[in-house]
Structure 1
Amino acid sequence: MATTFTARAALLDMDGTLVDSTAVVEHLWLEWAEPHGLDRETVLRTVHGRQGWQSMAILLPERDHEINLIENQRMLARESAETDGVVAIRGADDLLRALDGLPHAIVTSANVALMTARMGAAGLAIPELAVTAERVTNSKPDPEGFLLAASLLGIAPADCVVFEDSGAGIRAGLDAGMTVVGVGPHAPSFGPAHHVDDLTRVEIVPAADGFEVRIG
């Protein structure tokens, strides 16, 4: 059933929302997890949507935080270098073009280098405003990144729409007081306000005070 609502800014996650990087993310994280004897399903359930150091802290709760920070930097470097198979989510390019000239931002757990590598590999333009790992203290599911993006755009959180795929990201958007559109097959289980299988189902139409989001 078609749904239409209004917003004044769009905040977009990257991995799983604009870019399909599942294969490389899961390969690298399962490789990292193997020496620790961690369960495959637990690892894959944990790592999506979070900064790497936080995933490590959840998976290895007794380990020193400084080790996680060091290993996260190594992981980010490998992720930035290994982009084979990284492609755009269907409809991502059209959505970004529709938002050109309207307030919008990427809010990602990736750092600048990884964001640039993956968006480039997927052939997608990077919005002028990007809230990356370097700009926040707390990783999703904390709402800090979304709230910072709204503040930098000068838009009230209640007037923002978030596009997210992961449980951590959807929780962050909801806790920020924003309307969340879940993207992809797993998103509905995390309780977004709306859901689409991919971004071809989303239409952005400029309006007098912001824009309409039409979900088909």
Structure 2
Amino acid sequence: MPVRLHARALLLDMDGTLVNSDAVVERCWRRWAERNGLEPESVLRVVHGRQGHATMAALLPDRPMDVNLADNAVMLAEETADTEGVVPVAGAPAFLAALADWPHALVTSASEELARTRMTASALPLPPVLVTAERVSASKPDPEGFLKGAAELGFAPEDCLVFEDAEVGIAAAKAAGMRVVGVGPRAAAHTPTAHVASLEAVRVEAAPEGGLVVTVG
């Protein structure tokens, strides 16, 4: 049964939501896991959605944060240099085209350079507002990024609808007081407001009373 959600602005995660970068993420984080004596599959279960240094802190809690930050700079450089296998999520081009005249922002744990690189590699247009890793003091699941995106677009949290794929991103959206559409298999287990297998199942239309109606499913 389709779900209809009214919103005035949309806040969009990038990796796993608009861009399928799993191949790069897995390559880079497998190498990191091996360098640090960790089991790669265990590492890959927790990397999605967070900034790299936050993932490192969770996996190596006794390591000083300045080491994690330096290591994360290396990781970002590796990920930015590797675009092999980076493609749009199914339905992402048409979805973003439908949003062209509506308020929307990208809220991602990636750096601005990495976000621009992956959106370009996927041939996707950048939203008019970017909230990237450099622009927040805390990584998802902290709600700061989504709250900042809403404020920059000029809307209250309850007027915004988030699109996310990862557990920490869904938690961040909920903590911001926002409804969230979970996209893809990772999202299904984390009780989003609504869930779709891909963006192909999302339709965006003008609402008679103003704003948008987003039909999911």
Give the TM-score taking structure 2 as reference length: 0.98
TM superposition shift of 1:186: 2.0
TM superposition shift of 1:40: 2.4
Asked if 1:144 is matched to 2:122, the reply is no
Q: Match of 1:38?
A: 38
TM superposition shift of 1:41: 2.8
TM superposition shift of 1:82: 0.3
Does the 8 Å CA contact 2:204/2:215 hold for their aligned counterparts? Answer: yes
Gaps of 5+ in 2: none
Q: Match of 1:183?
A: 183
Deviations 1:6-62 (A, max 9, x none): 000100000000000001101100101112221223211111000000000011100
Q: Match of 2:55?
A: 55
TM superposition shift of 1:101: 1.4
Give the residue type in structure 1 aligned to 2:69. L
Give the residue type in structure 2 aligned to 1:83. T
Give the residue type in structure 1 aligned to 2:40. R
- Give the 5 Å matches for 1:7-22: 7-22=7-22
Q: Match of 2:213?
A: 212
Q: 1: CA distance between counterparts of 2:20 and 2:129?
A: 21
| Aligned residues between the structures | 216
Q: 2: CA distance between counterparts of 1:65 and 1:209?
A: 46
Q: 1: CA distance between counterparts of 2:37 and 2:190?
A: 28
Secondary structure in 2 matching 1:120: helix
Deviations 1:54-97 (A, max 9, x none): 00001110001111111111111111110010000011111111
Give the residue type in structure 2 aligned to 1:190. H
Secondary structure in 1 matching 2:85: coil
TM superposition shift of 1:185: 1.1
Give the residue type in structure 2 aligned to 1:213. V
Q: Match of 2:79?
A: 79
Secondary structure in 2 matching 1:123: coil
Secondary structure in 2 matching 1:213: strand
Q: 2: CA distance between counterparts of 1:93 and 1:35?
A: 37
Q: 2: CA distance between counterparts of 1:109 and 1:120?
A: 17
Q: Match of 1:117?
A: 117
Q: 2: CA distance between counterparts of 1:34 and 1:191?
A: 33
Q: 2: CA distance between counterparts of 1:106 and 1:65?
A: 27
Q: 2: CA distance between counterparts of 1:182 and 1:163?
A: 6
Q: Match of 2:129?
A: 129
Give the residue type in structure 2 aligned to 1:68. N
Give the residue type in structure 2 aligned to 1:145. G
Secondary structure in 2 matching 1:47: coil
TM superposition shift of 1:114: 0.2
TM superposition shift of 1:196: 0.2
Secondary structure in 2 matching 1:46: coil
Q: 2: CA distance between counterparts of 1:178 and 1:42?
A: 30
Give the residue type in structure 2 aligned to 1:200. E
Q: 2: CA distance between counterparts of 1:155 and 1:137?
A: 21
